Amino acid sequence: MPRFAANIGFLFPELQFLDRFAAAREAGFRAVEFAVPYPYEPQLLSEKLRENGLECILLNLPMGDKAKGDFGIANRPERREEFREGVPLAIRYAHALGVPKMNCISGTIRPGEDHAKLRAILIDNLRFAAREFKAAKLDLVIEPLNTHDVPTAFLTRSPEAVELIAKVGAENLGLQCDLYHTAMMGDDPAAILQSLRGSIRHIQFADAPGRGEPGSGKLDMPKLFAAVDAIGYEGWLSAEYNPTRPTPETLSWFVR
What are the tens digits of pLDDT across the range 167-186? Answer: 999 999 999 999 999 999 99
Q: Which residues are catalytic?
A: 143, 240
Domain membership flag for residue 256: no
Upper half-sphere CA count for residue 205 (Cβ side, 13 Å): 30
What distance in Å separates the CA atoms of residue 157 and residue 178, rounded to the nearest whole number? 10
Q: Rounded mean pLDDT of 56-79?
A: 95
Name every residue whose Cβ is closer than 8 Å to that of residue 67 and which is 6 or more positions away in sequence: none
Helix (H) or strand (E) holding 236: strand 236-239
Going by C-alpha positions, the residue among 30, 140, 152, 28 that lies closest to residue 83 is 140
Domain membership flag for residue 49: yes
User: Domain range spanning residue 7?
Assistant: 3-250
pLDDT of residue 114: 98
The pLDDT mean for the chain works out to 97
Domain membership flag for residue 255: no
CATH number at residue 104: 3.20.20.150
Can you give the length of the chain in residues?
Answer: 256
Domain membership flag for residue 100: yes
Residue type (1 letter), 114: D
Domain membership flag for residue 81: yes
How many domains does one find in the chain? Answer: 1
Domain membership flag for residue 239: yes
What does pTM read for this prediction?
0.97
pLDDT of residue 256: 63
Q: Rounded mean pLDDT of 118-123?
A: 98
Residue 118: pLDDT band (50, 70, 90) is: very high
Which 8-state DSSP code applies to residue 105?
A: E
